[in-house]
Structure 1
Amino acid sequence: MASSIRIVGDERLLSYAAGIRAVYASAFAAPPWDEAESMADAYLERLGDDLARPGFVAALVLDGDTVHGFCTAWTTPADFPKDRCHPQVLAALGPQRTRDWLCGAQEIDQLAVHARARGRRLGPALLDAVTAEAADGRSWLLTSIRAETAMDFYQRLGWHQATYPAPRGTGAAVFLGPCHPAAPATAGWGVVRADRPVEDGPARATASRRPQHPVGGERRS
């Protein structure tokens, strides 16, 4: 059976919980994430809460009922979050750019493809499915600078790096989507550089977290 992508934005997503858990565990077990399998259970618990976020949307790659990959996103609120890596993002971009570039935009949280399904361009397809309806092309994410394959993955897909944590650090970089209206400001002298590394936040945040191409896992820091 050929793979298909399904968009889900409500509690029906939880009917695929076992498959999402399997994908998560497979994608994030490898370096640089090295997550214990128990983290997949923790993610499922958080996913139930994420469903209530304004603008929540998820895309699944399915072969019948088998989940091969998933991507989740929601709308960044006007009151910029203070959890996970968000304070470091605010420090790096400053209040004005954070408000103009990120608030009200679509924030990619998780992007993951099971190891068995890599090499089929599922990562790009999932990103396209989730960001297709982003207002004015305003989408963004975070990914760890330790995930060099993920960084390269987004750059090759036309995402624009907007913050530059210290090289060889443990920070997370902000990427703006290919059609984000602020993307031109990230080129040349317009690049915004953080004064200090954007440190990884507590488990679960890229905006989100990782891939391989197709994605092993992308995640939020």
Structure 2
Amino acid sequence: MLDINERFAMQILDRALHEDFGFEHRLWIYSSRHGVHCWICDQTARELQSSIRQAISGKDALKRVTLHSPLHPSLQHAREIILTEFDGYACLEQDFLVDDQPERWAAFKQHTDAMINSVTTTTKFRKAAYTTLIDEIMFEYCYSRFDANVTKGMNHLLKFPFSIHPKTGRVSIPIDLDSLKYFYPCKEGSVPKLNELCQQVEQLPKQNEQNEDGINEKIITK
């Protein structure tokens, strides 16, 4: 299965590319080692200038997450995606609270809620800071980032669909967004490898001979 952070990234970015930027033709590709790539095949995307491409990738993508309430609609959509699996991801896979992760994370959220409720209307700034605190932690760990150099440059080296990774030997194959939970790229047999493809090609003449022999036998018996 893909890393859950990659699944978050694919779902968040695909929604943003389609609904926020209007790109219709998007092809997600497994990199054949780590990560994924999205090929945007719209004519308008291919004609964009580098400055516009850079604006799409986001100039603040690598800075510390600071959110303001209410969230921008695009961030709100991303938050809804992250919420679906964040507790299990952060506490179990990322292990960012070390010991007793689920209990500590639940206690932290309860404490934050209590602080929000205890803040009076005269200290709205503090209340806003507490309100976005949980979201900032989730976005820091899970919000997707564009690769700015790949996004803005037309001459940047890209992972071509169906190319072979020189170290893993795996083929870069398309990914179905609706089946992300069932995609296990590191599981044996889930992604084609160059040596396996070569073996299949070598076996083709033998299989064809066997098929022809079988057809000839049927003709003779008839």
> Which bracket does the TM-score occupy, shorter chain normalised?
under 0.3
TM-score by length of 1: 0.22
Q: Which has the larger radius of gyration?
A: 2
Alignment TM-score, normalising by the size of structure 2: 0.22
- Relative contact order: is structure 1 or structure 2 higher (C-alpha 8 Å, sep ≥ 6)? 2
**Structure whose residues are more often strand by fraction:** 1
Pick the structure with more helix per residue.
2
